[in-house]
Amino acid sequence: MASTPDNGTTLILGSDGFLGRNFVRYFKERGWAYHPVGRSAGDLSDSEVALRVFKAAPKVERILHLVTRQRTGQVQYGIQGELIAINARIHLNVLEAWRLHQPQAKLISTGSSCAFPESDKPIVEGEFQSGPMHQSVRGYGLAKQLLAVGSETYASQYGLRYLHLFLATVYGPGDHKAPERTHFMTGMIDRAVKEMRDGAAAFTVWGEPDTVRDLLYVDDQIAAILAADGAFENAMLNCSSNAPVTIDQSARAVVEALGWKAAITYPPGTFKGASYKTLDASQFLSTTGWQPKVGLVEGVRRVLSSDYGIA
């Protein structure tokens, strides 16, 4: 098993992205050793940059690989080739640099449910690569599959340690708000604040009310990742809460947190993606005993306070 984060340095790749920034904050608050690698270090899709970054870093206990090129919503359909090309290069470069310059470290990489085939029931780990992915995420999802299988095969051939974690949709303060980058919860909060401030009587929500997703506040997802690190090795693992939410539940949490007496409307024709997508994290939960601490309304309130100055 891997040691706890206070017993070894962690290399955080993507330290200036949303999840990476929050990992840096989380580690700093606890006095844990970390070595951040952000955009200023160069483009990890360039193999020379990746090799240089890994060689220059101190010897670490674990590597958190959080770097990805991602777009959301309808934009994904038009850039499938770009997403697979860039992400495949990033992931292959990280794997090779890990092998050559940080082989003592455990590589912890992050994936998502989009790497699984569509399903009308909670997805278990054994369904990985068992069928086609949703059309909107084929390029991105295939690159995530490459990372997962690449981690497994590198570990097997070269005697390395890895953990690939399929995460929930994560939200929290400081998340991306540009329409082509935001995930559903952050986009929903941002749109609600703007419409409320404009004096609208209704809250416009994209998609369909019964669409199902996994959702975790960022600190809860970080704690879950670290719990998985302490209990699992050389595995692909669902890392979520087994508490999926509908889009309508999420929308109602937003208006409750805002104290906004607004009707909720679902205009036809907006992007909705797969109608049902949730991970079965029973293996992770039963082994670690981890449970989330931040409820949905409380999580939204934290975002409103931090990003919009709304108490």
Query: Token digits for 225?
Result: 């990742």
Amino acid (one-letter) located at 54: F
Contact indicator for 192, 255 with CB cutoff of 8 Å: yes
Predicted confidence at residue 3, as pLDDT, reads 43
pTM exceeding 0.85 = yes
Cα 209 to Cα 205: distance, rounded to the nearest angstrom: 8
Strands 106-112 and 169-171 turn out to be: unpaired
Strands 10-13 and 62-65 turn out to be: parallel
The residues facing 246 across adjacent strands are 212
Please write the tens of the pLDDT for every residue from 266-308. Answer: 998 777 677 889 999 999 999 999 999 999 999 999 999 999 9
Could you tell me which residues come within 8 angstroms of residue 184 by beta carbon, excluding any fewer than 6 positions away? Answer: 169, 206, 207, 213, 247, 250
Q: Write the DSSP assignment of 161-194 as a string of letters.
A: EEEEEEE-EEE-TT---STTT--HHHHHHHHHHH
Task: Name the CATH superfamily housing domain 172-212+244-277+294-305.
Answer: UDP-galactose 4-epimerase, domain 1 (3.90.25.10)
29 by Cβ neighbours in 10 Å (0-12 / 13-18 / 19+) ranks as exposed
The residues facing 204 across adjacent strands are 265
- The domain spans of the chain are 5-170+217-239, 172-212+244-277+294-305
Q: What count of other Cβ atoms lies within 10 Å of the Cβ of residue 120? A: 9
The domain made up of 5-170+217-239 is a member of CATH 1.10.3470.10: no
- In three-state secondary structure terms, 127 is helix
Strands 212-213 and 245-246 turn out to be: antiparallel
5-170+217-239 against 172-212+244-277+294-305: fold identical: no
Query: Token digits for 230?
Result: 């302490």
Which sign, positive or negative, has the C-alpha torsion 165, 171, 176, 180? positive
Could you tell me which residues come within 8 angstroms of residue 196 by beta carbon, excluding any fewer than 6 positions away? Answer: 203, 258, 260, 262
120 phi, psi to nearest 5 deg: -100, 15
Cα 290 to Cα 224: distance, rounded to the nearest angstrom: 7
Strands 161-167 and 106-112 turn out to be: parallel
Nearest to 144 by CA among 86, 59, 87, 194: 87
Amino acid (one-letter) located at 145: Q
Predicted confidence at residue 70, as pLDDT, reads 65
Query: Token digits for 252?
Result: 């109602």
pLDDT tens track of the chain, all 311 residues?
334 676 789 999 999 999 999 999 999 999 999 999 999 999 999 999 999 999 999 999 999 999 987 655 555 556 777 889 999 999 999 999 999 999 999 999 999 888 899 888 999 999 999 998 877 778 788 899 999 999 999 999 999 999 999 999 999 999 978 766 567 899 999 999 999 999 999 999 988 999 999 999 999 999 999 999 999 999 999 999 999 999 999 999 999 999 999 999 999 877 767 788 999 999 999 999 999 999 999 999 999 999 999 98
Number of residues that make up the chain = 311
156 by Cβ neighbours in 10 Å (0-12 / 13-18 / 19+) ranks as exposed
Predicted confidence at residue 5, as pLDDT, reads 76
